[in-house]
A and B are shown apart, each in its own frame.
Chain A
Amino acid sequence: MSDFNIDDKVDITDVVCPTTFVKAKVALEELDDGQILSIRLNDGEPVQNVPRSIKEEGHQILKLLDNEDGTYELIVKKVGD
């Protein structure tokens, strides 16, 4: 975590697909080009699908950290406005 300068955080463990991606996407829209978002997400379907969907939107996945409590921390760099 400390490797990155996190600009904003969003927790998507309280919603289910497709709202998981939607919530992450909305958080990314609030950021500027190059800023970094940390996304807390659940194991299983979210961790399989959300990083892929974010990548498809053109953003850069920097790291996926296992919190070892059934959740992950996905570090994303926003690309574009």
Chain B
Amino acid sequence: MAFSNEQLERYSRHIILKEIGAKGQKKLLNAKVLIIGAGGLGAPVAMYLAAAGVGTIGIADADEVDLSNLQRQIIHATKDVGKPKVLSAKETMNEMNPDVTVNTYHTFVTSENIRKLIRDYDFIIDGTDNFPAKFLINDACVMEKKPFSHAGIIRFKGQLMTYVPGQGPCYRCVFKNPPPKDAVPTCKQAGVVGAMGGVIGSLQAMEAIKFIVGQGELLTGNLLTYDALKMDFRKIKLPHNTDNCPVCGKNPTITELIDYEQAECDGAL
């Protein structure tokens, strides 16, 4: 595949980089990334990956754009309120970069559909806002041998880690089970600063880009935490031994996906 002059110009800042070059840009254009959740995290991830020229981007989300989303979900605009988030996200990405093919999945991910969904993609982004989805994504990625970036944000705090099959712990190695229902508030109940999605989502996009071009060190075997109020980043080394993990360990006890019950949101908030 040869670059057009327009592509050379569009991607010039990548191509100039020794670590990316034309070869890396071609890898990006041939790559397929699935973003689960078109919200606070998924929005910046989708925009940076589309701008970077990731050739195929899948985006899964069952929700419609709500006015209260716009404080942080920068891929959606005021005119999009009421529209499916995946459609609004696709429109923004197409406007940014016509090189990108966007596949939309206007659905919740469940134990029924997730394995088939992720199978077509090279890298998965967890941009979800609840524990059942996070464990589901982890377990499905382990079973399908897919690398993924986990992240979570709440209030002024965020965290992320990267899983690559065979290269360190999975999310369940670190967090054995979802917390009890209502033990951890949702963003809806607790609040979150919009820029938090930008900080952590941009880091997820960076991990995906590094994975695709095969450069640098990924956040495998480590958990990065960010406390915005204290302006503190911590990179926490995770135990390397994954043998006893119920899903990625030597003798897995979890061999089928689990749909955990989602905590009820307090409708009054």
Neighbouring A residues of B258 by C-beta, 8 Å: none
Neighbouring B residues of A30 by C-beta, 8 Å: 22
- The answer to the question of A65 belonging to the interface, with a C-beta cut-off of 8 Å to chain B, is no
How near does chain A come to B63, taking the closest CB pair, in angstroms?
Answer: 40
Do B21 and A15 have beta carbons less than 8 Å apart? no
Neighbouring B residues of A14 by C-beta, 8 Å: 5
| Interface residues in B, total, Cβ within 8 A | 12
Q: Which B8-32 residues have C-beta < 8 A from chain A?
A: 8-9, 11-12, 15-16, 18, 21-23
Compute how far the CA of A57 lies from the CA of B22 in the bound complex, rounded to whole angstroms: 14
Do B23 and A22 have beta carbons less than 8 Å apart? no
Neighbouring B residues of A22 by C-beta, 8 Å: 8-9, 11-12, 15-16
Do B9 and A15 have beta carbons less than 8 Å apart? yes
How near does chain A come to B28, taking the closest CB pair, in angstroms?
Answer: 14
Do A25 and B16 have beta carbons less than 8 Å apart? yes
Q: Mark A17-42, 1 if CB is under 8 A from B, else 0.
A: 01101110110011000000000000
- The answer to the question of B233 belonging to the interface, with a C-beta cut-off of 8 Å to chain A, is no
Given contacts A18-B16, A22-B16, contact A29 B5 (CB under 8 A): no
Q: Which residue of B lies closest to A19 (CB)?
A: B9
Do B16 and A15 have beta carbons less than 8 Å apart? no
Compute how far the CA of A22 lies from the CA of B22 in the bound complex, rounded to whole angstroms: 9
Do B23 and A19 have beta carbons less than 8 Å apart? no
Q: Which B112-130 residues have C-beta < 8 A from chain A?
A: none
Compute how far the CA of A29 lies from the CA of B18 in the bound complex, rounded to whole angstroms: 11
Compute how far the CA of A57 lies from the CA of B15 in the bound complex, rounded to whole angstroms: 13
- The answer to the question of B108 belonging to the interface, with a C-beta cut-off of 8 Å to chain A, is no
Q: Which residue of B lies closest to A28 (CB)?
A: B22
Q: Which residue of A lies closest to B24 (CB)?
A: A29
Q: Which of A15, A19, A23, A26 has the most CB of B within 10 A?
A: A26
How near does chain B come to A11, taking the closest CB pair, in angstroms?
Answer: 10
Compute how far the CA of A25 lies from the CA of B12 in the bound complex, rounded to whole angstroms: 10
Given contacts A25-B22, A26-B22, contact A19 B5 (CB under 8 A): yes
Do A25 and B21 have beta carbons less than 8 Å apart? yes
Given contacts A29-B22, A29-B23, contact A15 B15 (CB under 8 A): no
Neighbouring A residues of B18 by C-beta, 8 Å: 57
How near does chain B come to A49, taking the closest CB pair, in angstroms?
Answer: 12
Sample (26) of A-B pairs whose CB atoms are under 8 Å apart: A14-B5, A15-B5, A15-B9, A18-B12, A19-B5, A19-B8, A19-B9, A19-B12, A22-B8, A22-B9, A22-B11, A22-B12, A22-B15, A23-B5, A23-B8, A25-B15, A25-B16, A25-B21, A26-B3, A26-B8, A26-B22, A29-B21, A29-B22, A29-B23, A30-B22, A57-B18
Instruction: Other than A19-B8, A26-B8, A26-B22, give 12 A-B pairs with Cβ distance below 8 A.
Output: A15-B5, A15-B8, A19-B5, A19-B9, A19-B12, A21-B16, A22-B15, A23-B5, A25-B21, A25-B22, A29-B21, A30-B22
Q: Pick the 3 closest A-B CB pairs, nearest first.
A: A26-B22, A22-B12, A29-B22
